[in-house]
């Protein structure tokens, strides 16, 4: 259970993340009713980070792409996530989570593969026995 201060702090970080995302959406799309939601999600499944930030961009149904090259912008939802708690999310993290169709977006297949590699290596190192130094013997 969160305290009132923790809830207030989380709301402040949520506003910051939403503002980072909105900076990457053309003003016309925002004016037509595009909404941005951010939430902190916990995961207890093996291999998951304990807390991650989920981002959902909801586009109005207008029948045309509000962001060129992004089919979801015709009236669907675009979902992405940052594998960090909301308090740690930076503008750079948001840009790396958004594809180049968004102004400033940097997400590419190469970046996704590198992130997957890092997560996998982190999990492997947790499973391997730790080497004991001479001082610890």
pLDDT digits over 71-96, tens only?
Answer: 999 999 999 999 999 999 999 999 99
User: Is residue 53 a part of any domain in this protein?
Assistant: yes
Spacing of C-alpha 87 from chain mean position? 12
Domain hosting 53: range is 4-127
- Taking residues 10-37, report their average pLDDT: 95
The whole-number pLDDT of residue 125 equals 75
Does pLDDT of 133 surpass 70?
Answer: no
User: Is residue 68 a part of any domain in this protein?
Assistant: yes
> pTM of the prediction?
0.75
Please give the Cα distance from 34 to 66 (Å, whole number).
Answer: 9
The whole-number pLDDT of residue 76 equals 93
- Average pLDDT of the chain, as a whole number: 85
User: Is residue 134 a part of any domain in this protein?
Assistant: no
Domain count, the chain: 1
Confidence category of residue 10, pLDDT binned at 50, 70, 90: confident
Pairing of β 77-82 and β 35-42: unpaired
User: Is residue 137 a part of any domain in this protein?
Assistant: no
Name the 3-class secondary structure at 111: helix
User: Is residue 58 a part of any domain in this protein?
Assistant: yes
User: Is residue 136 a part of any domain in this protein?
Assistant: no
């Amino acid at each position: 259970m969160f305290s009132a201060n923790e809830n207030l702090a989380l709301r402040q970080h949520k506003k910051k993340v939403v503002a980072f995302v909105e900076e990457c959406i053309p003003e016309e799309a925002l004016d037509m009713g595009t909404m941005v939601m951010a939430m902190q999600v916990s995961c207890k499944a093996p291999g998951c980070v304990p807390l991650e930030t989920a981002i959902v961009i909801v586009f109005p149904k207008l029948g045309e792409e509000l962001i060129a090259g992004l089919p979801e912008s015709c009236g669907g939802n675009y979902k992405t996530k940052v594998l960090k708690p909301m308090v740690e999310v930076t503008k750079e993290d948001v840009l790396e989570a958004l594809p180049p169709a968004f102004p400033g977006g940097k997400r590419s297949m190469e970046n996704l593969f590198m992130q997957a590699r890092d997560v996998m290596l982190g999990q492997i190192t947790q499973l391997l026995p730790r080497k004991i130094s001479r001082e610890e013997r």
